Amino acid sequence: MEKNKIELLAPADTLEKVKWAFYYGADAVYLGGQDYSLRANAENLSVKEIKEACSYAHKLNKKIYVTVNIVFHNEDIKGLEQYIKELNDAKVDAIILSDPLVIDIAKKVAPNLNLFLSTQQNTLNYEACNYWYNEGIKRVILGREASKENIESIIKNSKMNIEIFVQGAMCVGYSGRCMLSNYFTNRDSNRGGCSQICRWNFDLYNKNKKKIKSKQRFSMAVKDLTLLPHIPELIDMGIVSLKVEGRMRSIYYIATIINVYRKVIDEYYETGKVEELNKYEKELVRCANRESAVQYFIKKPGVNEQYYSNDDLSSNKDFLGVVLDYDKKNKEIILEQRNYFKVGDIINIFGPGIKDFDVKVEYIKNANGIIDIARHPKEIIRIPCNIEVKKDYILRVKF
Amino acid sequence: MTKILVQPINKKHIKYLNNTSIDGYIIGLKNYSIFQSLKLSIKDINKLNINNKKLYISINKPIYNNEIDDTKKQLIEISKLNITGVLFEDISIYNINKNMNLKLNLIWNQMHLPTNSLSCSYWNNKGIKGALLSTELMVDDFIKIKKDTNMIIMVYLYGYIPMFESSRTLLTNYFKYIKRFKLNKLYYLYEKVTNKYYKIYEEYNNTYILGDILNGINYLDKIKSNNIDYIVLNGVFIKEKEFNRVLNDYINNKKDDNVYTGFLNKESIFKVKKDGKK
């Protein structure tokens, strides 16, 4: 990454996703270990895998941050010192914490380890940032409620490096201040057990306990966040890192989102503008299964930033396959298929650092010969393509 | 000896409470306090007659950057009052108090975050006098934290459980969506799994949801014998007569078998393995 260029920070919960994120342009990846992380039910990485991820990242001059961001109960603390030592030995570039006890332990056992403050601390002002700066915290991930004006003023009044979320799902409540999961399902949200009660529908009753009758039941669900249209402003403001949410999302999602943000960031640095914003926005919309909105950046979110019908959720069938290799002699893509496509379809291919392009499927071959339809996920097949492609390029539905 | 702090329902309630054996009050600061029935300006707090009892001010809403200047002014004025201390949520309060040398006694009250001994000690080492522990802890956790730290430990033993806060106007948004008017300040969410109604309301253009009424009266002996410094009884949304009845139970240590005890004696889980077990 160029010095002082804004960082694009991707999520991952497996070593495979770490590699995909870097391949598609992330400058850094954040991930959870198998303990102490707020996505307790994600795949998450062992210390050995974290070490491998760090080694892989550092060869590319990229970074790995590890979440140690639960709110600890006494029973959880055992083993934490050893774990932080191991993360330090694995050469992680920073750990992300929300509970201040981690600061004391890290200072004791790994004094040179960089410490970032999680959004779970819900930091929304410069005085809090200044406190954490004096505590040796190197970066604060602001609360998602921060507006543009808030962020600008925080940066102006604090030496703290500021990271914000730019894409993905978001809590309806202030982070760390929602206990619905605890009381409805006995799963502790601040220790990684959130059962996403905010996406449930409820019957609403008035003060006299008379039901509010409507086809649409009460919901507090919100659309995902996207700040893609505001990337130039975010860069100009002096934010150090743009974070994409979604440690449990698919490789297709990560590749698409990171690819788009990479292109937009690079184009703005190179030309001072972003020409094809609409196209990029469309790409983001197509790869997600939920609508997104700018949320708090420009104005306080209202009714248009909420979700009121699960009908809007869609299963994404755009992801058609992953390139395994290119047969130069026969000018064929060898790919692993993911979703249905057939001869005659026009498909779109994208990869890191290239302009995506369309290809008409003239024929499909599998191990037994010519077929008309690719309908078996994970099957290895071939399609013709005159343009040479590389391993891990992605094939998707044309749009 | 364990002392009783009350979050009173209104100013009139204080007149009644002044004549009881409670030890003090937690009063909300106007525009800065949530999950609190009585919120007063500094001027009005100064005028309160509290019969020489302790007085804590609760500043427990998240503070945005554009509120920092006013927060500083409020804290300067509070520092001139004869109060026992300030319960705080936002870390800016700590920083302002320190940098402006206001010498306020601070109590760490980051809602659901004070959950372990080491974090309490972290703040104690910064000069924080006490912590109001999270409602998601068990009584045994309270005791362990008290034993491990030198802090004043406060625990919430009676009142609606603060369960959720959002900076969105979730009720207003919903009524706009269904093209109806929001006619009430208070509504109820019905949740069929637990078969319960939960209070939901808007304040400061934010939305709050309350859980059931917690009542830890049956753990009072254990709490007292383990030297927990304060128990907190909150009157928000409780009728005065009912509150006073419960308070009387606490004063007289009268057990009650028909109470909701939240996580006081129940462990929460957070890691669900594929077989559904912790």
HSE at residue A154, side-chain half, CA atoms within 13 A, is: 35
Mutate to test the interface with B, among A220, A294, A306 (most CBs of B within 10 A): A220
Residue type, B105: N
Most confident of A281-285, A321-325, B188-192: A321-325
Nearest neighbour of B116 by CB, restricted to A73, A124, A184: A73
Cα A289 to Cα A252: distance, rounded to the nearest angstrom: 12
B135 chain-A contacts, CB cut-off 8 A: 179
What is the pLDDT, as a whole number, of residue B275?
Answer: 46
Cα A96 to Cα A70: distance, rounded to the nearest angstrom: 10
User: Do B131 and B122 form a contact (C-beta atoms < 8 A)?
Assistant: no
What is the pLDDT, as a whole number, of residue A86?
Answer: 97
pLDDT, tens digit (0-9, with 9 covering 90-100), for B220-237? 999 999 999 999 999 999
Nearest neighbour of A145 by CB, restricted to B122, B167, B177: B167
Nearest neighbour of A205 by CB, restricted to B176, B177, B188: B188
Q: Is the Cβ pair A203, B95 closer than 8 Å?
A: no
Cα four-point dihedral sign A133, A137, A138, A142:
negative
Q: What percent of chain A has pLDDT over 90?
A: 87
| Cβ-count burial B166-192 (b if 16+ within 10 Å, e if not) | bbbbbbebbbbbbeeebeeeebbbbbe
Q: Is the Cβ pair B62, A174 closer than 8 Å?
A: yes
Q: Is the Cβ pair B270, A191 closer than 8 Å?
A: yes
B95 chain-A contacts, CB cut-off 8 A: 127-128, 130-131
Q: Is the Cβ pair B116, A99 closer than 8 Å?
A: yes
Q: Is the Cβ pair B167, A174 closer than 8 Å?
A: yes
Our CA-based measurement puts residue B211 at a distance from the nearest CA of chain A, in whole angstroms, of: 8
Instruction: DSSP letter for B147, please.
Output: H
pLDDT, tens digit (0-9, with 9 covering 90-100), for A1-60? 555 899 999 999 999 999 999 999 999 999 999 888 877 767 789 999 999 999 999 999
ipTM of model: 0.95
Q: At what angle do helices A126-134 and B68-79 cross, to 10 degrees?
A: 80
What is the pLDDT, as a whole number, of residue A312?
Answer: 55
What is the pLDDT, as a whole number, of residue A313?
Answer: 57
Our CA-based measurement puts residue A282 at a distance from the nearest CA of chain B, in whole angstroms, of: 26
Question: Which residues of chain B carry a pLDDT beneath 50?
Answer: 274-278
The pTM score is 0.95
Q: Is the Cβ pair B90, A128 closer than 8 Å?
A: yes
Mutate to test the interface with A, among B88, B182, B188 (most CBs of A within 10 A): B188
pLDDT, tens digit (0-9, with 9 covering 90-100), for A215-269? 999 999 999 999 999 999 999 999 999 999 988 889 999 999 999 999 999 999 9
What is the pLDDT, as a whole number, of residue B85?
Answer: 98
Q: Is the Cβ pair B112, A187 closer than 8 Å?
A: no
Cα A316 to Cα B232: distance, rounded to the nearest angstrom: 50
pLDDT band of A315, cuts 50, 70, 90: low
Average pLDDT over chain A reads 94
Q: Is B56 helix (H, G, I), strand (E, B) or coil?
A: strand
What is the pLDDT, as a whole number, of residue A248?
Answer: 84
Q: Is the Cβ pair A204, B187 closer than 8 Å?
A: yes
- From A80, A223, A34, select the one nearest A144 (Cα to Cα): A223
Q: Is A101 helix (H, G, I), strand (E, B) or coil?
A: helix
pLDDT greater than 90 at residue A369: yes
Our CA-based measurement puts residue B98 at a distance from the nearest CA of chain A, in whole angstroms, of: 10
B161 chain-A contacts, CB cut-off 8 A: 179, 183
Nearest neighbour of A99 by CB, restricted to B119, B185, B266: B119
In terms of DSSP bridges, do strands B196-203 and B206-215 run parallel, antiparallel, or are they unpaired?
antiparallel
